[in-house]
Chains A and B, each alone.
Chain A
Amino acid sequence: ETGVTQTPRHLVMGMTNKKSLKCEQHLGHNAMYWYKQSAKKPLELMFVYNFKEQTENNSVPSRFSPECPNSSHLFLHLHTLQPEDSALYLCASSPWTSGGAGNEQFFGPGTRLTVL
Chain B
Amino acid sequence: QKEVEQDPGPLSVPEGAIVSLNCTYSNSAFQYFMWYRQYSRKGPELLMYTYSSGNKEDGRFTAQVDKSSKYISLFIRDSQPSDSATYLCAMSGSAGGTSYGKLTFGQGTILTVHP
| Cβ of A51 under 8 Å from chain B | no
5 tightest Cβ-Cβ pairs between the two chains A and B: A107-B43, A102-B101, A43-B105, A42-B105, A103-B32
B binding-site residues for A, Cβ under 8 Å? 2, 4, 8, 31-32, 34, 36, 41-46, 49, 51, 88, 90, 92, 95, 100-108
CA distance A26 to B42 in the complex (A): 18
Which residue from B42, B102, B107 sits with its C-beta under 8 Å from A45? Answer: B102
Please indicate the chain B residues that have their CB under 8 angstroms from the CB of A58 in the complex. Answer: 102
A109–chain B nearest beta-carbon distance, Å: 5
Q: Which of B41, B44, B46 has the most CB of A within 10 A?
A: B44
A binding-site residues for B, Cβ under 8 Å? 4, 6, 31, 40-43, 45, 48, 50, 56, 58, 90, 92, 94, 96, 98-100, 102-110
Please indicate the chain A residues that have their CB under 8 angstroms from the CB of B103 in the complex. Answer: 43, 45, 103, 105
B56–chain A nearest beta-carbon distance, Å: 13
By the criterion CB–CB under 8 Å, are B88 and A43 in contact? Answer: yes
By the criterion CB–CB under 8 Å, are A107 and B45 in contact? Answer: yes
Query: What residue in chain B is nearest A41 (Cβ atoms)?
Result: B107
By the criterion CB–CB under 8 Å, are A90 and B106 in contact? Answer: no
CA distance A106 to B24 in the complex (A): 23
CA distance A62 to B4 in the complex (A): 27
Please indicate the chain A residues that have their CB under 8 angstroms from the CB of B92 in the complex. Answer: 103
By the criterion CB–CB under 8 Å, are B44 and A109 in contact? Answer: no
14 extra interchain contacts, Cβ-Cβ under 8 A, other than A40-B8, A104-B34? A31-B101, A40-B107, A41-B107, A42-B108, A43-B88, A45-B103, A102-B95, A102-B100, A102-B101, A103-B101, A104-B46, A105-B46, A107-B45, A109-B41
B30–chain A nearest beta-carbon distance, Å: 10
By the criterion CB–CB under 8 Å, are B106 and A42 in contact? Answer: yes
